[in-house]
Amino acid sequence: MAKDKGLIHIYCGENKGKTTAAVGLAVRSFGSGFKIIFSQFLKTSPSGELLSFEKLGIKVYRITKPKGFTWEMNEDELALLKEEHNKLFKEVTSLVEKDGDKTLLVCDELVGAYAGGHIDKDMVMDFLNNKPKNLEVVLTGRNPSEELMEIADYITEMKKIKHPMDKGINARKGIEM
């Protein structure tokens, strides 16, 4: 395998660390001169990484509607969510140059959107199967499908051993969000 070939990473698991790992890789890559295309699916609330990226001059692409948890959405909201995710995916993949050289594409929570049917699966798989050879791709989220795991070069599972939420301590700004 060529040393400069872009690979596909999946950060998955039930708890903390998936987005944090993707952000860390994005910052490392940015420091090494990579173009960063960072996108967030299933997320509409502000979080600390957005402020950090803003200070670094890295744009974060995300949806703004509909807001809320998917399990609380009605059929119209779920249809809108899928439409917005499809538009977002098309937008961020269109920003990738033909060879993908020195480019990192992060699709935070795309794994969850894919698993929940909130994005066109054929579109995602077509892009991943035909991505520019040098493009590095990171996908995060819970429960990656067999087809995503099969195409990935790295799969890292974040496993909770102990977590403050087990003691009733809620997510803290700047630490968990």
Domain coverage including residue 45: 8-167
Supply the pLDDT for residue 78.
86
Q: Is residue 172 in some structural domain?
A: no
Q: Is residue 2 in some structural domain?
A: no
Contact 53, 169 (CB under 8 A): no
pTM, rounded to two decimals: 0.90
Q: Which of 87, 144, 78, 81 is nearest to 111 (CA)?
A: 144
Instruction: Look at residue 88 and give its three-state secondary structure.
Output: helix
Contact 120, 143 (CB under 8 A): no
Q: Is residue 154 in some structural domain?
A: yes
Q: Is residue 173 in some structural domain?
A: no
* Partners of 10 in beta bridges: 139, 155
Q: Is residue 80 in some structural domain?
A: yes
Give CA–CA dist 64/167, Å, rounded: 32
Q: Is residue 22 in some structural domain?
A: yes
Give CA–CA dist 133/101, Å, rounded: 8
Give 75's contacts (C-beta < 8 A, 6+ positions apart). Answer: none
Which pLDDT tens digit goes with each residue over 81-125?
999 999 999 999 999 988 788 999 999 999 999 999 999 999 999
CATH number of the domain encompassing residue 22:
3.40.50.300
Band the pLDDT of 1: cuts 50, 70, 90: very low
Q: Is residue 118 in some structural domain?
A: yes
The number of distinct structural domains making up the chain is 1
Lookup: tokens for 90: 């098309």
